[in-house]
Amino acid sequence: MTGAEYLNEDLKRREEKKKTKQDASVKGDKLLTISARIAEHDLASKIQNVLKWLNKSYEVRVVVTGDAAGNKAKQEDIAQRFEASVKDTGKIVQKRLRDNDLRFNITPTGGSTAGKKGLLDVKDATNGLNESQAARGLHTRSCSMA
């Protein structure tokens, strides 16, 4: 085989690999372990992290650990908070109670990236500037003094 043929094969393999990566609906998985005694602000912070991961097409596995039998109500409350918060971007697939741990998986929904706005999506936030100026961060208008 010549060098050109090797190059063509390599390019074909790269394109196939790139296409299969793009076709994959889930990039990977993230594991989040929290205690049932988590503070309210910390729980809100963790929910925000989960929402970011779901928007990036990661599957999230959540483990809510408990110390005693009295924490089961608190664990269920935390699971309900997650379910209510991620109902637009993800879906809770499995919820199971094992030993003192409540475990559930959250998978991203198919249209989770449709409403996501990137940094350079400047159609609404241009303030009268053209798109290239807004993308470069030029947010002031020059007014001529007459």
Six-digit token string for 61: 């596995």
Q: Which is more confident, 140 or 53? A: 53
- pLDDT-derived band at 137, boundaries 50, 70, 90: low
Listing from the earlier edge strand, what are the strands of the sheet with 101-108?
28-35, 58-65, 101-108, 90-98
Give the model confidence (pLDDT) of 114-126 as tens digits. Answer: 444 444 444 444 5
- What would the mean pLDDT of 123-130 be, rounded to a whole number? 52
Domains detected in the chain: 25-108 (3.30.110.10)
Reported as half-sphere exposure (CB side, CA atoms, 13 A), residue 141 has a value of: 8
CA–CA dist 8, 6 (Å, integer): 5
CA–CA dist 78, 61 (Å, integer): 14
- What would the mean pLDDT of 116-141 be, rounded to a whole number? 52
- pLDDT above 70: residue 85: yes
Q: CB 106: neighbour CB atoms within 10 A?
A: 27
Highest mean pLDDT among 66-75, 90-99, 105-114: 90-99
* Proportion of the chain above pLDDT 70, given as a percent: 69
